[in-house]
A and B are shown apart, each in its own frame.
Chain A
């Protein structure tokens, strides 16, 4: 941990020092066109900041001392004054914003973290549900099909997915279902946190709608014969598809409407036809909730305040989709391999020989062991997610650290770029640490001395 952290700072410093011109004043600041006094002030600022009149190793140590939260405090003449535990990290000032970088990071990093923290559980949930199924049905159509689709999904560039989602679902030309940019509307900041209705019976109605829809479809999934299940779901898909298509901006022709409703109907039919009971029930329950909420929502009357929470969720849907699909596509393959390896292992065969049912072998014996590689990978998932949020944040103009980084690179705000790289490395290290802790929880054999 600590050596890696020091190494990261060293890499960052070397990149800075090795850039054309290195650590010289002319390259650090573009002082052209400034008044002589301003130029002098900036030059002095940098000379003091980096100790530019000193050799590189000393500069590195000074810089390290400056960015670390505890360290030596220098007086005005550049002499060591005393050692302080509370001096706080000083990452310099941002040129674009004219504010200390630490202050900006405090605003921006939580937003990126919010995106990533929501993303990770979704990734794992989907990856494990599909991966386990693919492993148990090895070589069958579900396995081959999901493997191919996951590889294809993994190859979809995040920016393509983002652009397509944004173009079709948050645009006046097609469907304006989702907001175009940002994480919340300005007026949402004045709203109460939870959604509010003027009429107290409205939420009850909504809840009733959701519950009825969900329980109906779950009952259908669990109890009804396959043919009825599939055809009811296909019908639902056709209606839903027709509704979605006709709510498109402009005047969609009958041809387009029927195509879209047919596609959605076919997808729903395939879902109803699926043998994988738990996945089917889960998805159908979610569809039921959605449809129930939709139908109940159409009958609602009275004033409705969206509330901060709902507004935030509404804004987060598309970015989260963009961030998740690559991750679960990658993890599904890993989950499949890992479950498969354990299913074929000797201890699983022993369990089967004892007469343990296949379900128990899977969930009680194999599953926990198969989690270990997934947890190991969670550490390396974080750098990918942080990188992905750079793209997602710039597409959906979310003010996180990724967008900040791109702006900083474009405008050559070097201190900002360096701090962001440093912070992203630091976050990844924290991710490694958390992964190690989870690893120890999942596998009692592992101990860190």
Chain B
């Protein structure tokens, strides 16, 4: 009974999603995000200085697996969990619970059990190869890590794509000498992570506050809307700058900061939907049945009011990625970790212009943002009854 009820109640959102993704543009967007997600999950296996397998006099080792960081294993296990759930086709609540529990268990286990070597010497494999110590080796497709600055090659720095004949850099190297393609692949994780987590936080705050505002209306609504107005009146970038100035900027902090500065949009949408829904019969009957507030808000009202939030979330992920890129571009974001924005920042320096540092990271930001915007457009068209009526 309950399962059937949930199925019917999430029907509208499902219908909207199905309709949106029947459009070719939304599918292309989804495909691009899928590619980025693939790179994000398998980044250490695609671009890594540590070889997959290494045969020396001491025997066969797998330096790549030894150097796998806890974060890598967490991402991998969550990815596997999502793939399995996709084929199991359980309902939404189960999926969310399963992913969360896998995330928690994987994080605890990984941080307890996995301790990669603290000191990483990327140059040692190349030196071993030069000295003839390696019998055979299987390298990653791109044999450079994100933080492998190629110090053993001497003076490394900005290099055009395929400029050197000693080593292959498909997209050139950056200022510090690291491979651009490798750094871009590793940066996928940060871009996607920021996008999802920041939007998730913003949505959570927005849904709760907006839901309460819409449900209670009256004084609560008025106070809440003033809060929304206040946050909307301060330009988000300036608010972000303020937060960064006072709290500093690490990856996780940046997610939280972008989350708590972008929630008002979601609150507005949820409030508008809930104001409309609260007078409807099914909500009134749910209240009359004496259901707890939590149940009325999130079980009965939210599934019917979630569609505009989905649209906003799709655009929101795009803008969260943009905000991270902007902060990194301005030199206020991540320092050593790869990030598209920070790489783009190196494109123009004093009097020189390095085109590959502009086109590749900039293009990655553009296509990712564009992909999310395409999906958002398609979702918006799907929930717009006006457009449907007239066509």
Contact = CB atoms under 8 A, between A and B. Distances in A.
Given A151-B374, A160-B362, A160-B366, A7 B236 contact: no
Contacts of A421: 234, 238-239, 241-242
A412 B248 CA distance: 10
Given A410-B332, A417-B245, A405 B238 contact: yes
Contacts of B318: 155
Interface stretch (B4-12, B102-110, B345-353): B345-353
User: Which of B229, B245, B326, B377 counts the most chain A CB atoms within 10 A?
Assistant: B245
9 contacts: A160-B358, A160-B365, A163-B362, A171-B348, A386-B238, A395-B348, A410-B332, A421-B242, A428-B234
Given A15-B246, A160-B366, A344-B390, A4 B373 contact: no
A391 interface: yes
B373 A166 contact: no
Contact of A163 (B239, B348, B369, B390): B348
A8 interface: yes
Interface string A341-365: 1001000000000000000000000
Contacts, number: 154
A414 B330 contact: no
Interface residues of A, number: 59
B325 A159 contact: yes
Contact of B233 (A155, A156, A167, A383): A383
Interface in A100-142: none
B351 A172 contact: yes
B353 A409 contact: no
A332 interface: no
A417 B242 CA distance: 6
B298 interface: no
Interface in B340-391: 341, 344-345, 347-348, 351-353, 355, 358, 362-363, 365-366, 369-370, 373-374, 377, 386, 390
A163 B226 contact: no
A6 to B, nearest CB: 9
B369 A157 contact: yes
Interface in B34-56: none
Q: Does more than half of chain B's interface fall in helix, strand or loop, or is it mixed?
A: helix
Contact of A164 (B231, B238, B330, B362): B362
9 pairs of A and B residues whose beta carbons are closest in the complex: A387-B237, A167-B353, A19-B246, A160-B362, A7-B230, A383-B235, A155-B370, A409-B245, A425-B234
Interface residues of B, number: 51
Given A7-B227, A408-B245, A420-B238, 18 more contacts: A4-B226, A11-B230, A12-B242, A15-B242, A15-B246, A19-B246, A20-B248, A159-B341, A160-B365, A173-B352, A382-B235, A386-B238, A387-B237, A391-B326, A406-B241, A421-B242, A425-B238, A429-B233
Interface string A1-44: 00110011011100110011000000000000000000000000
A394 interface: yes
A425 B237 contact: no
B370 A11 contact: no
Contacts of B99: none
A409 B235 contact: no
Interface string A266-307: 000000000000000000000000000000000000000000
